[in-house]
Chains A and B, each alone.
Chain A
Amino acid sequence: MNTQVNVNHSLTLDTFSQGIKDCIPTLLGYISIGLAFGVIGITSNLSILEIFLLSVIVYAGSAQFIFCGLYVAGAPFSVIIITTFIVNLRHFLMSLTVAPHFTRYSPLRNIGFGTLLTDETFGVAVTKLTKEKHLGGNWMDGLNLTAYITWIASCTLGGIVGKWLPNAESLGLDFALISMFGALLVLNLVDLSKSKLMHYIKLIVLMAIIMYCLLYFLPGHLAVLIATVIVATIGVVTEK
């Protein structure tokens, strides 16, 4: 099993199987969060069919958790839909970042790339992009479909075994997601030149301050979105 995201500079092939391989390191994250979601879905009075459908048609970890929380609290449907929209709006920025590298493919394939874009596949794709300056469609499909199928299977399995699974939180599995974001962040920084790295470190410090302030009056997902827009803008303005 190739557990290493390609750290060498050689170009990897644009093949579906390479996409699957590059997805493998993220699967522990999908599986643990998916199982946890299935369990939470059951405790939020969703049926296994509803857990399955939600992971098929919404396919977004944090939004699915929030969906459960709002649904079980009896929130109006309009509130659930608007909240889901805001929570997932960050994907707009992610798609916008990745999309310029796929314009040579047909509109239908581009819709496919966008439909299956998640935080994790975005993270793997931009990490590959920083190293190889190039993304291939077959590779992206392999990455996306592996993640998608694993997510649906994990959520559904979580729903099925829901009542018998030990408390996922005490096992530390919920931290898999944060570890993954941390690792992807590091992988995006390791190959930079020294001056560029210093610039990014200053931006991350600034990000910490802005996030801290925003969290006083905004929910976390909105703070992530607004802080990203602010800091990226400062990044452009201050670059040499």
Chain B
Amino acid sequence: MTTTLPMILLMLGCAIVTWLPRVIPFILVRNVQLPDVVLRWLSYIPVCILSALVLESLFNAEKSIVTFDWFNLGALIPTLITAIATKSLSKTVVVGVLTMALLRYFF
């Protein structure tokens, strides 16, 4: 249960660069009225960022050709079906984890 001064400084550095992008927009929008086109652009961010995060996991970029990650793709299909059918976050996560565990057990 110990740490060192350089380690503390390193963690503080990482904390500051993580904190600033999170907080600056909250200060910014109090003082600046965002133009309508920016607000419309921001309305696309949730779906774009969430789909980008999901898609990132479906590709395997470790070799010279980007290929599908078949395990993630295989587990995602029942996961998405569960999400559409139940609209429940927790049920979806449970189905996703179980599907992945089964896939890894059998293949």
Question: B residues near A, CB below 8 A?
Answer: 1-3, 6-15, 17-19, 21-30, 34, 37, 39-57, 59, 61, 66, 72, 75-76, 79-80, 82-84, 87-105
Which residue on chain A has the smallest CB distance to residue B34? A100
> Are A103 and B79 closer than 8 Å at their CB atoms?
no
Chain B contacts of A172 at CB under 8 A? 75, 96-104
A11, CB-defined interface residue at 8 Å: no
Looking at the complex, which one of A50, A175, A233 makes contact with B41 (CB distance below 8 Å)? A233
Looking at the complex, which one of B13, B41, B96 makes contact with A176 (CB distance below 8 Å)? B96
> Are B26 and A102 closer than 8 Å at their CB atoms?
yes
Interface class of chain B by DSSP: helix
Question: A residues near B, CB below 8 A?
Answer: 3-5, 7, 24-26, 28-29, 32, 47-50, 53-54, 57-60, 63, 67, 71, 77, 80-82, 84-85, 88-97, 99-100, 102-103, 107, 110-111, 113-115, 117, 119, 122-124, 126, 130, 169-176, 178-190, 200, 203-204, 207-208, 211-212, 215-216, 220, 223-224, 227-228, 231-233, 235-236, 239
Interface class of chain A by DSSP: helix
